Amino acid sequence: MTIIHGDCITVMAGFAPAVADFALTDPPYVVNYRDRSGRSLRNDDCTHWLAPAFAQLYRVLAPDSYAVSFYGWNRIEAFMAAWKGAGFTPAEHIVFRKPYASSARHMGRTHEQAFLLVKGRPRPPPHPLPDVIDDWRYTGNRLHPTQKPVSILTPLIESLCPEGGTVIDPFCGSGSTLVAARQTGRRYIGIDIDERHAATARARLEEHPGAVTFGAPAAGKRLRRPHGSNGTEHTAGLRPWRRHGFRERIRPCDRAAG
């Protein structure tokens, strides 16, 4: 079980193929978002990270697997081009209904959205979820400017990731996907370009027994697909997480967003 601070394109490029069984991710919507307190997201004002990030995500997913990606509805052309260019096939559209409007202008915005993407021909789940999910619980965005509730992520993992499988989130933010993965008995790989968010995710997972975090892959090493259920192979070749992470010199908007 792994949380890595770094550029997700570079980090995933160091992984062997097929290290994960399911992807669930909430990348920047490319809308230059800023919340009421002035918080913003790295690389939320450009799109050139989209294609290489999803190309690497496709490569590190197992054959015949699923991915779910949130996206900005007014940037759908860019997201769709990146998904299809990577090799994914859009299979379903998911709406997450919120009990409040996050903003209002012409209409009150009371939902978020994601696409279900497929790699190859995954076996459909025995009990498919509805494409409208209602269990949205307000997080207050306390840990991240666009923090998603664990309650909407858990059923996706239970339905679309094999039991005991590995969930990857290359834009893990405060770690909501990783918490949901752990709660459902799955392993997880989380990556975020922002050192503060990676530290938040690490602290959040360390609050619970059994959470283990690591740092970036050592030079020349590749994360191998885990064997068995204890995650030993999954962490091979990784350095222990250093208290303050590792630093990269990253110019604005010239690397991956997660």
Q: How far is CA 246 from CA 1, 198, 202, 214, 242, in A?
A: 18, 11, 14, 11, 7
CA atoms within 13 A on the CB side of 37: 9
Question: What is the chain's length?
Answer: 258
Which of the residue ranges 96-110, 205-219, 226-240 has the most confident prediction, judged by mean pLDDT? Answer: 96-110
Residue 24 lies in a domain: yes
52 within 8 A of 256, measured Cβ to Cβ: yes
Q: How far is CA 154 from CA 12, 61, 182, in A?
A: 24, 19, 10
List the CATH number of the domain containing 72.
Answer: 3.40.50.150
Residue 43 lies in a domain: yes
Domain range for 158 is 2-240
**pLDDT, greater one: 246 or 160:** 160
Query: Which tens digits make up the pLDDT trace of 139-188?
Result: 767 776 768 999 999 999 999 999 999 999 999 988 999 999 999 999 99
Number of domains within the chain: 1
Residue 72 lies in a domain: yes
Run of H or E including 238: strand 238-240
User: For residue 49, which amino acid is it?
Assistant: W
Return the pLDDT at 68: 98
DSSP state of 111: E
Query: Which tens digits make up the pLDDT trace of 26-66?
Result: 999 887 666 677 775 776 778 889 999 999 999 999 999 99
CA-CA distance, 4 to 6, in Å (whole number)? 6
